[in-house]
């Protein structure tokens, strides 16, 4: 095997936690190597070592036969390793071309940027990744998928020998993923070595040659993907089987209508939509990213303004002009952007939980810290939030535990209907399953649950009923007995393929 | 779940010890700095370690401490208030004008003056908060505007002249040193700090101030109105500017339209040195008191050492920058402890 990158006994220790220990791995030149693992398994630490963001505490890394010890991300780039991080690092107010060649803009005399050369080189790079856009377009005008491709084009512009893609499909829709995969295959055909990090198991079979699974900072195994199955990999990732991760509970039977929305109109250009959810029902909301599902939920909740529409709770019309009205009527919104909109990241677990209703832990405006701690400990135990104590800052919890804290804060307030937007994004399999169980517990308590998700198997596994958004419209509704992936997808695309 | 996550989030130290370390790094750090600076000047500067000098420092920090107390609320919510200096000037002339009204008995005049100062300051502060939240304008700009408007208003009210002739009982109270060690105006400052500390630490309102500064969108989506707390913080800052104006009158016995120039920067410096983060959500008002002390101890100490008026601001400026640098390190340390 012609090895391009080899790791020997690589370890990284953080105060109090071993992030990576004794990892030995070799990547063959020209292969597409998949790295899998739950959150906290050590994937991101590994990438940061390659990127020169962290330095290993033990072990050796060799790249192209030479010792590889990058001190900074710049060093890594110089050696020919290029990393496309999960969080994109483009400058929104510059053009695509400028972003692509930021580190070495073509120049004329006196350091003036040579626009012609800049744009023509950019066009060539964009063609490599199959993007047909004017390179003078500002990056802010692009969709996430396009930005991702620009990042990859940028990586290619440096003649990279090794391309590391960190969860590139996390925010992409199925056709965008297909396009990305065809580009990856093309790059591979040209001899570029690719390390591909993901936790979407199903997709890795299409592009990967070999897979390495990490668990608890250790390497579990490196295997040929050929001949492996999804359950095989899951077993390697979590060390045991997961029979049915969703745990659909047939004993939970939907009752009366909890929340109904009639003729909700966000603004003059969007169509009216109507839907409802029953007590004890889990209603799935499917659709592409940008199809108006998130926007509809936010408008319903009063988070964004709406033009028109009637919201009824238990048959009674209620006026919702701001989130505080919605909350008062028993609605809860778990936002898509958990860190940006759901949590007080630098505050402790207990303070995050009680923020929804401080009057419960106060008398005459004075806080009772003991009552607060008791209430928080109670919920932390009930939801099995893994934190060192309720005084730990939420920032330092894993994605799954952060999501549990968001759930806990709404349970603290007391809620009759929950709207969850992408509740398991960035949550590892183990915690995901616990969140599903919690949702079933809430459904059994006759709460209405609206679940917005891009993960179709998740919706089909969890929901009693699914409504499908396509270009701001609700284009279909399916009962559980009619669930069919193909059908839901074709509904989701319906309004986009028509002229 | 497997132990995966536990390892990822495991705290490096036990909760009890973490709490102590956190206290040491977050709160005791500035205090330690104050003690060290004081010891340094006591050893090197002549007359520094005398009771007379200590009294002088107490008197001198009173105004800045009161201003900085209100400023702490604003900065905790992620805002900034540049107007407090000229709002103070406006309040001094309003207060002095009320107080020298001869048709009132001194007691009534002083009470009315206090109320007028507080009301004037609170209205200015409310306007700052209301305008910046209502039209979503950065408070930096709005309060910069208020800085000019209040300065102008102070000239209008005073007819551009200094107001003197405050009641003797008022002047006497300002000079009073309780028990021979506690200047009355320092007591006022300490009471304001104590009130602020109580509100921030023990009340629902105080909790909301921290929460709004940490993430106002999350607070809004949790069913609250963050703008209310932002406006309230600015109103409090205006209110303390009014109280600081009374302290000014007690100390200098004149209402002046040109009072308070640059005071806002000293107040901000005290808050920042005291460890409150300019991005909001983190900090303490006790730190602010310590920050104000550090500034004054430095200023007095340098003077006694014979460092000229030209070099003094350079040193103080360096200390402010140093404090912010240390703050960045402190954040990193705290993350490790938690």
Q: How much is the pLDDT for B8?
A: 38
- A141-150, A476-485, B58-67, B191-200: the lowest-pLDDT one: A141-150
What DSSP string describes A468-479? EEETTEEEEEEE
Between A351 and B15, where is the model more confident?
A351
- Please check whether residue B221 touches A, CB under 8 A: yes
Contact A416, A330 (CB under 8 A): yes
Q: How much is the pLDDT for A39?
A: 64
Q: How much is the pLDDT for A210?
A: 94
Residue of B nearest to A346 (CA): B214
pLDDT at A200 over 80: no
pLDDT at A466 over 50: yes
E strand or H helix at B63: helix B51-76
Q: How much is the pLDDT for A231?
A: 77
pLDDT at A370 over 90: yes
- Say if the Cβ atoms of B8 and A351 lie within 8 Å: no
List CB contacts of A97: < 8 A, sequence separation 6 or more. A118, A119, A121, A122, A135, A136
pLDDT at A471 over 50: yes
The pLDDT > 70 percentage for chain A reads 96
Q: How much is the pLDDT for B274?
A: 92
- Say if the Cβ atoms of B12 and A16 lie within 8 Å: yes
Q: How much is the pLDDT for B9?
A: 40
**Which residue has tokens 């140093």?**
B322
Chunked mean pLDDT (size 10), chain B, 338 residues:
36 61 72 92 92 93 98 97 98 96 93 97 98 96 97 96 95 93 95 97 97 96 97 98 98 96 95 91 94 94 89 89 80 66
Give me the residue from A301, A328, A355 closest to B219, CB to CB.
A355
Rounded to a whole number of angstroms, the distance from the CA of A155 to the nearest CA of chain B is: 30
Between B19 and A445, where is the model more confident?
A445
- Please check whether residue B198 touches A, CB under 8 A: no
**Mean pLDDT, rounded, for A47-57:** 90
Alpha-carbon separation of residue A125 from A104, A116, A137, A160, A489 (angstroms): 14, 14, 15, 13, 32
**Mean pLDDT, rounded, for A401-405:** 94
C-alpha–C-alpha distance, residues A435 and A155, integer Å: 37
- Say if the Cβ atoms of B5 and A239 lie within 8 Å: no
Query: Predicted ipTM?
Result: 0.89
Rounded to a whole number of angstroms, the distance from the CA of A371 to the nearest CA of chain B is: 13
Query: Domains of chain B by range and CATH?
Result: 12-337 (1.10.3470)
pLDDT at A298 over 70: yes
**Mean pLDDT, rounded, for A234-255:** 77
Band the pLDDT of A499: cuts 50, 70, 90: very low
Alpha-carbon separation of residue B256 from A18, A74, A461, B83, B157 (angstroms): 63, 58, 74, 16, 10
Query: Domains of chain A by range and CATH?
Result: 3-238 (3.40.50.300), 257-497 (3.40.50.300)
Between B334 and A349, where is the model more confident?
A349
Q: How much is the pLDDT for B170?
A: 96
End-to-end C-alpha distance for chain B, whole angstroms? 22
Question: Which residue in B164, B149, B87 sits closest to B118, CA to CA?
Answer: B87
Rounded to a whole number of angstroms, the distance from the CA of A218 to the nearest CA of chain B is: 11
- Please check whether residue B102 touches A, CB under 8 A: no
> pLDDT of A97-107, one tens digit each?
998 888 778 88
> pLDDT of A21-39, one tens digit each?
889 999 999 999 999 887 6
- Furthest CA-CA distance within chain A: 76
Q: On the CB side of A15, how many CA atoms lie within 13 Å of its CA?
A: 12
- Say if the Cβ atoms of B338 and A434 lie within 8 Å: no
Q: How much is the pLDDT for B6?
A: 36
pLDDT at A397 over 90: no
pLDDT at A16 over 90: no
Residue of A nearest to B198 (CA): A366
**Portion 296-325 of A in contact with B at CB < 8 A:** 301, 303, 322-324
Question: Which residue in A293, A332, A353 sits closest to A418, CA to CA?
Answer: A332
Contact A475, A296 (CB under 8 A): no
pTM summary value: 0.80
């Amino acid at each position: 095997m012609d090895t391009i990158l080899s790791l020997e006994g690589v370890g990284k220790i953080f105060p109090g936690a071993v992030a990576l220990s004794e990892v030995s791995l070799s990547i063959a030149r020209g292969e597409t190597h998949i790295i899998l693992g739950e959150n906290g398994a050590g994937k991101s630490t590994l990438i940061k070592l390659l990127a020169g963001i962290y330095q290993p505490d033990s072990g050796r890394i060799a790249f192209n036969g030479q010792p590889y010890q990058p001190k900074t991300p710049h060093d890594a780039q110089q050696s020919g390793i290029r990393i496309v991080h999960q969080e994109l690092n483009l400058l929104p107010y510059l053009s695509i071309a400028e972003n692509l060649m930021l580190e070495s803009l073509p120049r004329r005399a006196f350091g003036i940027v040579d626009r012609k050369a800049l744009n023509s080189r950019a066009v060539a790079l964009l063609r490599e990744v199959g993007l047909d856009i004017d390179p003078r377009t500002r990056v802010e005008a692009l969709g996430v998928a396009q930005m991702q491709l620009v990042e990859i084009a940028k990586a290619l512009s440096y003649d990279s020998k090794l391309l590391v893609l960190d969860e590139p499909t996390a925010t992409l829709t199925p056709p965008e993923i297909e396009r990305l995969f065809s580009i990856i295959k093309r790059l591979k055909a040209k001899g570029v070595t690719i390390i591909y990090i993901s936790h979407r198991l199903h997709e890795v079979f299409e592009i990967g040659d070999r897979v390495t699974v990490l668990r608890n900072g250790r390497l579990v195994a490196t295997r040929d993907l050929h001949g492996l199955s999804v359950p095989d990999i899951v077993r390697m990732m979590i060390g045991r089987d997961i029979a049915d991760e969703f745990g659909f509970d047939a004993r939970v039977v939907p009752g009366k209508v909890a929340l109904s929305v009639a003729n909700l109109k966000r603004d003059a250009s969007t169509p009216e939509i109507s839907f409802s959810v029953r007590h004890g029902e889990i209603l799935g909301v499917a659709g592409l990213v940008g199809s108006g599902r998130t926007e509809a939920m936010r408008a319903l909740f009063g988070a964004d303004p709406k033009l028109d529409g009637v919201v009824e709770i238990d048959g009674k019309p209620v006026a919702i002009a701001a989130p505080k009205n919605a909350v008062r009527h028993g609605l809860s919104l778990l936002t898509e952007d958990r860190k940006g909109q759901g949590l007080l990241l630098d505050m402790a677990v207990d303070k995050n939980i009680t923020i929804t209703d401080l009057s419960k832990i106060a008398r005459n405006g004075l806080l009772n810290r003991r009552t607060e701690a008791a209430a928080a400990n109670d919920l932390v135990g009930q939801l099995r939030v893994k934190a060192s104590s309720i005084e730990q800052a939420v920032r330092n919890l894993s994605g799954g535990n952060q999501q549990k804290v968001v759930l806990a804060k709404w349970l603290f307030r007391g809620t009759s209907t929950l709207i969850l937007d992408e509740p398991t994004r960035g949550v590892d399999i183990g915690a995901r399953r616990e969140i599903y169980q919690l949702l079933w517990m809430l459904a059994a308590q006759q709460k209405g649950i609206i679940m917005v998700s891009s993960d179709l198997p998740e919706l089909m596994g969890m929901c009693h009923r699914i409504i499908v958004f396509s270009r701001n419209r609700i284009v279909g509704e399916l009962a559980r007995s009619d669930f069919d992936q193909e059908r839901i997808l074709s509904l989701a695309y319906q309004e986009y393929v028509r002229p | 779940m497997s132990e995966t996550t536990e390892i990822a989030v495991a705290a490096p130290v036990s909760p009890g010890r973490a709490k102590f370390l956190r206290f040491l790094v977050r709160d005791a750090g500035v205090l330690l700095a104050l003690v060290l600076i004081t010891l340094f000047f006591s050893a090197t500067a002549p007359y520094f370690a005398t009771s007379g000098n200590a009294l002088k420092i107490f008197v001198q920090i009173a105004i800045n401490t009161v201003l900085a107390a209100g400023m702490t609320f604003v900065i905790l919510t992620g805002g900034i208030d540049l107007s407090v200096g000229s709002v103070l000037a406006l309040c001094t002339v309003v207060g002095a004008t009320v107080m020298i009204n001869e048709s009132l008995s001194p007691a009534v005049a002083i009470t009315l003056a206090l109320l007028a100062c507080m009301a004037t300051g609170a209205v200015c502060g409310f306007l700052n908060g209301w305008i910046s939240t209502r039209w979503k304008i950065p408070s930096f700009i709005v309060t910069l505007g208020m800085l000019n408007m209040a300065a102008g208003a102070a000239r209008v009210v005073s007819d551009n002249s200094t107001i003197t002739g405050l009641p003797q009982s008022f002047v006497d109270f300002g000079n009073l040193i309780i028990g021979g060690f506690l200047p009355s105006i320092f007591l006022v400052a300490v009471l304001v700090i104590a009130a602020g500390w109580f509100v921030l630490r023990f009340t629902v309102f105080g909790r909301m101030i921290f929460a709004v500064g940490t993430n106002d969108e999350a607070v809004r989506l949790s069913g609250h109105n963050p703008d209310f707390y932002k406006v309230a913080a600015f109103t409090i800052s205006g209110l303390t500017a009014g109280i600081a104006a009374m302290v000014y009158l007690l100390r200098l016995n004149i209402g002046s339209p040109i009072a308070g120039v640059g005071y806002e920067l000293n107040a901000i410096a005290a808050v920042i040195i005291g460890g409150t983060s300019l991005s909001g959500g983190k900090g303490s008002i006790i730190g602010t008191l310590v920050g104000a002390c550090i500034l004054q101890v430095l200023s007095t100490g340098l003077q006694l050492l014979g460092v000229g008026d030209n070099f003094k601001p350079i040193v103080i400026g360096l200390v402010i920058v140093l404090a912010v640098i240390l703050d960045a390190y402190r954040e990193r340390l705290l993350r490790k402890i938690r």
